[in-house]
Amino acid sequence: MASRIEGYFEKLEGTRVWRSIFRSGTGNSTLHRALAIQQNVFLHLFPTKVRRRMLGFSATWYLGTLTLCTFLILVVTGILLMLYYHPSVPQAYADVKDLKFVVSSGMFLRNLHRWSAHAMVFLAFAHMFRVFYRGAYRRPREFNWVVGVILLLVTLLLSYTGYLLPWDQLAFWAITVGSNISAAVPLVGDKFHFLMLGGHQVNANALLRFYVLHCVILPLTAVLFVMVHFWRIRKDGGLYVRESEPGKDEPEPIPGAAMEKL
């Protein structure tokens, strides 16, 4: 049975349609495996070669991957919530109530969105602590650390802008206090406060601006920097291995080395 299924797959992989999509071809050679990663638009962000040990839990605790997973959950649940939520003063709070009490699975999706947001902030911090205490931020990975700091800021801004959207008392006063903190910046603070809220107080303009930031501008920024973040792991020589750890004596996997050998 298993061999029959395998046979089907082999047949499928040999078809012209399959080969027109996946150009690397079939086969188990190092070249084919490297090509499968290198010629795929999504996978080519990652290194073609990874030490087996680095895929284990203890090497990274999977904190970066888990942060990405929470982000993907937030994108999916967020898009679904957008189908019922109107970012307007008379409707926003009522829509959130509807999501809780009227829409099928609405409460589940909203809670999943909220808890994933909390988890993403926690995991991003945990990931950064892990990288910091392992010393993985050092040369040649300094720039990727900087990209990570930008991603942390984007994550926090996503949390902050999302906080206003339920349009309840907590949201209103939290954004009032938070935006007044930004107004304390010398010279440009008041102007920035005005631009951010689209007025002098948290009102309809502020709700719409935060909605656009939360649903469009900040997620796109996050995706952009996540791509750079992954690509830099590959360009900076793969996941970090400490000097004292076994496996350090192995030759550094140079990107594309597998290709050159063949």
Partner 1 sequence: MSEAKSALPATETEVSRRAFFTKMGLGSLGIAAVGTLVFYYKFLSPNVLFEASPIVNAGRAENFPQDSVTLDVNSGIYLIHVAEGYFSLNAICTHLGCMTAWKQEEGIIACPCHGSRFSREGQKLAGPAPKPLPWLKTWLSDDGNLLVDRSTTIPPLQFLRV
Binding to partner 1 (CB under 8 A) within 188-217 occurs at: 194-195, 198-201, 203-205
Interacting residue with partner 1 among 24, 26, 30, 176 (CB under 8 A): 176
The number of helices, as runs of H, and strands, as runs of E, in the chain is 13, 0
Stretch that binds partner 1, among 35-43, 57-65, 99-107, 171-179 (CB under 8 A): 171-179
Count of C-beta atoms within a 10 Å radius of residue 16 = 6
Closer residue to partner 1 in complex, CB, 109/202: 202
Closer residue to partner 1 in complex, CB, 25/199: 199
Give CA separation, 54 vs 49, 58, 80, 167, 247, in Å. Answer: 11, 8, 35, 45, 10
Residue 102 Cβ, how far from partner 1 at the closest point, in Å? 30
Structure tokens at 178: 């938070």
Q: Which amino acid does the sequence have at 205?
A: N
Residues 6+ away with beta carbon under 8 Å from 29: 262
Count of C-beta atoms within a 10 Å radius of residue 252 = 10
Stretch that binds partner 1, among 28-36, 141-149, 173-181, 234-242 (CB under 8 A): 173-181
Interacting residue with partner 1 among 55, 181, 188, 223 (CB under 8 A): 181
Closer residue to partner 1 in complex, CB, 12/185: 185
Tokens 């900087």 -> residue: 146
Residue ranges in contact with partner 1 by CB under 8 A = 173, 176-177, 179-181, 194-195, 198-201, 203-205
